[in-house]
Amino acid sequence: MDFEIARARLIEHLAAEIKDRRVLSAMAKIPRELFVSPDLAHLAYEDRPLPIGLEQTISQPYIVALMTEELALTGKDKVLELGTGSGYQTAILAELARVVVTTERFPLLIERAGVVLYKLGYKNVEMHLAENTLGWEAGAPYDAIIATAGAPRIPSDLIAQLAVGGRMIIPVGSRYSQDLYKIVKQKQGNKTIKLGACRFVSLIGKGAWETEENNI
């Protein structure tokens, strides 16, 4: 399979909805096939989520592109990512931000993602095993926060880690379906924008879902 041709076709497909050329350029550069198991590599450039083990997924490329576009990164940002997963979203953030701090609950996923990110030469990524509290307070404040798992409400602990003027993208809803939200932190009265329906695995931790029960 010619992955470069497949990648170019995917980017052309995404360009109908995604207008940030920097996001599209980053996705055109990153080999998504390296972030999935070899037996699923032939599906890497279909616009669909794929399993990565441990009941986790690599998100649909359109959702990755949309979430990244809505972060409005400038190249000077410090970004917090909740849910390293395969590391694919991490790589895109690393292309567009000054530094990426990413957390993941599963040591195996951190190990796998770290190997691929190292192979691709990313040196502006800081990886951590997630704690019970959400985010990574030691690195705050962040210019942007992205959560790749759904919460029952917008977590106040994450808002607290966001710089004034910072943007957070997070799925909010039930265990089984969510809406994607963009929150812009302001000195008074944060701005909240609904971006549309989505479906993610559950965000586990104090301030989100505190157990694995009924996780999808």
Cα separation, 115 vs 93, in Å, equals 17
Q: How far is the CA of 186 from the CAs of 37, 164, 190, 203, in angstroms?
A: 41, 5, 5, 24
Q: Exposure string (b/e) for 176-191, b if CB count within 10 Å is 16 or more?
A: eebebbbbebeeeeee
Q: Give catalytic residues, as residue numbers.
A: 59
Residue 181, both tokens: 């939200």
Cα separation, 26 vs 32, in Å, equals 11
Provide the residue range defining the domain that includes 125.
Answer: 60-198
Q: Which of 147, 154, 100, 155 is nearest to 122 (CA)?
A: 100
Q: Could you give the dihedral angle defined by the CA atoms of residues 67, 72, 73 and 74, in that order, rounded to the nearest 10 degrees?
A: 160
User: Domain for residue 204, yes or no?
Assistant: no
Please tell me the predicted confidence (pLDDT) of residue 213: 58
User: Domain for residue 155, yes or no?
Assistant: yes
- Angle at 22 (CA atoms; ends 154, 130), nearest 5 degrees: 35
Please tell me the predicted confidence (pLDDT) of residue 214: 45
Q: Which pLDDT tens digits describe the chain residue by residue (216 residues)?
A: 799 999 999 999 999 999 999 999 999 999 999 999 999 999 999 999 999 999 899 999 999 999 999 999 999 999 999 999 999 999 999 999 999 999 999 999 999 999 999 999 999 999 999 988 999 999 999 999 999 999 999 999 999 999 999 999 999 999 989 999 999 999 998 999 999 999 999 999 988 998 765 443
Q: For position 173, which CATH number holds?
A: 3.40.50.150
Strands 178-184 and 191-198: antiparallel
Domain count, the chain: 1
User: Domain for residue 24, yes or no?
Assistant: no
**Model-level pTM?**
0.95
User: Domain for residue 64, yes or no?
Assistant: yes
Please tell me the predicted confidence (pLDDT) of residue 212: 66
Q: Are 93 and 112 in contact (CB under 8 A)?
A: no
